[in-house]
Amino acid sequence: MARSGERYTPHSRRDSSAHDSSYRSSAHMNVSMNANTGSSHSSTPRFSTTRGEASYAGSTRKSSASKNPYLQAQRSNNNARRERVGFVTADKGFVSAKRPMPGGKKPKRGMTRRDFIVLGGLAAVAAALPIGWNIFRPVEVVINGARRTYTVHTSLGDIISKEKIKTTAGNLTSVSGKVITEGKGFAYSVKVDDKDLSFDDGNNYKIHGGETITVGNGADIMEEYTVEMTETQPKLITDGSWGAVTYVSQWGKVEKKEIRTGKTSGETADGEVKQKGQDCVLKTRNLQPKDGKKLISITFDDGPSVYTERYLKILKDHGAVATFFNLGQNVDEMPEISKKIVADGHEIMSHTYHHDVLTKDSAERVQSELDSSYESIKKATGVETTMIRPPYGAFTSKTWAVTQGKMSASILWNQDSLDWSRPGVDKIVANAINGIQPGYIILMHDGGGPREQDLEALPQILDKLHDQGYTFVTVTDLMKADGNVPEDILTGKAKMPEDAVWPTELG
């Protein structure tokens, strides 16, 4: 409080007059106010507060002060000269204070003018604290390992220049990262509490206190460049080469990426990836029910046919459910049978429309075989499916590549009953059962030729496997029990998402 200190000095007439008058009388208070208002370092409101308190302290002596003949004489002076009078009284006032007061009274020893000023100064500090402390309070930060104190909200840019931290500036680089001009990059880099800031953010950062700041070498600045967007198509990737089921475990997405051409260097380089791409992945594997549950699926191809209803009766009698891979052309001929399959709680999927060897079909034919069979099944039963069993099990990744995303899964089998060759009932039963494991899929037929052997074999297969503790579930329920098949595939009618594309190229 240099200003208060100044007021101790008798030679500082202006200030001492302020003090003296407030001590003496309210009349002189006016004088001193005027004097101070006119001065170059005239008081802020804070200063007035100080004086106000001092004069309050002095008011106990007002009566004696008013009896001061000297002051009374001064008071009778011309008002226009008050200001100058104030200066005059200043010195005298100080002198007179050292003498006994008129009327024999002395100021209390415990309260000198000096005390008033000190008290006043403290009061000023107290009054200023709530605002001043927040704006100007010093805080500590750790900058490159050293503890430093700065006023709160000082910018890091100011601190870095004051601390004279030596850093190496980055370079101006080409789009491919080659140095064009050394030292033309950013002057330094800033990290606040392990968070890297951009150059501007770091430079403008205002400290709160308590931060750990790391100032390091500057980053490079890349030359100006022009941008072209490129698109990369996804590829078709096969994951696993052997197994009863193949399904889309990931849909393909186009990658959209910038290609930058440097205005200075003329170089081209990959830029920002605007849309992350991904390949389409086909997963081929056997299903394995969680916790070793003894679940299996029995499946029937080439229907519906004149035999199908007898299959449905046997299944009902044994409390078993199955999955039927219907041919679109048969569904169109006997829609009521397909409808009954679904009504009995079985699952229906596509076996194409014409029973083509799809691997020998054109892309258009493959697609129409799928679309038309899906449509027939939907029309007859209301069921939407995108799962098929390819005729003869003939389906390669090349065939997948021409499906345009119309298929979500290809379902083959683990146990081939070879019933189509009519090897005899016992052989069909043995082929269906021998070596069976939880999660397996059994292949039989309910169409495509005489099915009497099947109809005799089926009850035995159901009984024997039931005796072994197996439960028959649909293919999609077997997939659910497996726990590794994506949700959309489990619906049985998964369609390619709108933001996906079907790859035509194998990965």
H or E stretch covering 180: strand 179-181
Span interacting with Ni ion, options 143-151, 212-220, 266-274, 383-391, rule CB under 5 A:
383-391
- Joined together, the tokens standing for residue 430 give 């043995």
| Piece of 184-192, 336-344, 384-392, 488-496 that binds Ni ion (CB under 5 A) | 384-392
- Taking the CA atoms of the chain, what radius of gyration do you get in angstroms? 48
CA distance 415 to 399: 24
Q: How far is the CB of 352 from Ni ion (least distance, A)?
A: 9
Q: Which two tokens stand for residue 458?
A: 């089926």
Q: Residue 239 or residue 333: which is nearer to Ni ion going by CB?
A: 333
The residues, ordered by sequence, that sit 6+ positions from 304 with a Cβ below 8 Å of its Cβ are: 324, 326, 330, 331, 334, 337, 338, 341, 446, 447
The span from the CA of 432 to the CA of 444, in Å, is 8
**Ordered alpha helix ranges (H), 356-474:** 363-381, 397-401, 425-433, 452-467
Site for Ni ion in 261-320 (CB under 5 A): 301-302
Closer CB to Ni ion, residue 301 or residue 482?
301
Task: Give dist(CA 274, CA 268) in Å, integer.
Answer: 17
Least distance from C-beta 279 to Ni ion, angstroms? 31
Total residues contacting Ni ion (rule CB under 5 A)?
Answer: 3
Residue closer to Ni ion by CB (options 129, 306) is 306
Minimum distance, C-beta of residue 389 to Ni ion, in the bound complex (Å): 7
How many other C-beta atoms can be found within 10 angstroms of the C-beta atom of residue 494? Answer: 21
* Candidate ranges 35-43, 222-230, 365-373, 387-395; the one touching Ni ion (CB under 5 A): 387-395
In this chain, which stretch among 98-106, 138-146, 188-196, 391-399 interacts with Ni ion, using CB under 5 A? 391-399
Q: Which residue of 391, 438, 439, 503 would you call a contact of Ni ion, by CB under 5 A?
A: 391
CB of 462 to Ni ion, least distance (A): 22
Give yes or no for residue 369 binding Ni ion (CB under 5 A).
no
Contact letters for Ni ion, residues 77-116 (x by CB under 5 A): ----------------------------------------
Q: Is 110 exposed, middle or buried (0-12, 13-18, 19+ CB in 10 A)?
A: exposed
Is 271 or 391 the residue whose CB approaches Ni ion more closely? 391
Of 301 and 477, the one with the shorter C-beta distance to Ni ion is 301
Least Å from the CB of residue 468 to Ni ion = 27
Q: Are strands 188-192 and 179-181 parallel, antiparallel or unpaired?
A: unpaired
For Ni ion, the closer CB: 389 or 406: 389
Residues 136-155 that bind Ni ion (CB under 5 A): none
What is the 8-class DSSP label of residue 164?
T
Let me know: does 4 contact 117? Beta carbons within 8 Å. Answer: yes
What residues have CB less than 8 Å from 476, skipping those under 6 apart?
Answer: 323, 347, 387, 490, 491, 492
Residues 195-224 that bind Ni ion (CB under 5 A): none
From 5-13, 38-46, 102-110, 388-396, span contacting Ni ion (CB under 5 A) = 388-396
Nearest-approach distance from CB 448 to Ni ion, in angstroms: 6
Q: Is the peptide bond before 304 cis (omega within 30 degrees of 0)?
A: yes
- Closest contact distance (angstroms) between CB of 302 and Ni ion is 4
Number of C-beta neighbours around residue 101 at 10 A: 15
Measured from the CB atom, is 225 or 420 closer to Ni ion? Answer: 420
Shortest Å, Cβ 311 to Ni ion:
15
Residues assigned a catalytic role: 301, 445
* Closer CB to Ni ion, 202 or 391, in the complex: 391
Q: Token digits for 420?
A: 């189509």
Contact of 454 with 302, CB cutoff 8 Å: no
Q: Which residues contact 125 (CB under 8 A, 6 or more apart)?
A: 1
- Which chain residues interact with Ni ion by CB under 5 A? 301-302, 391
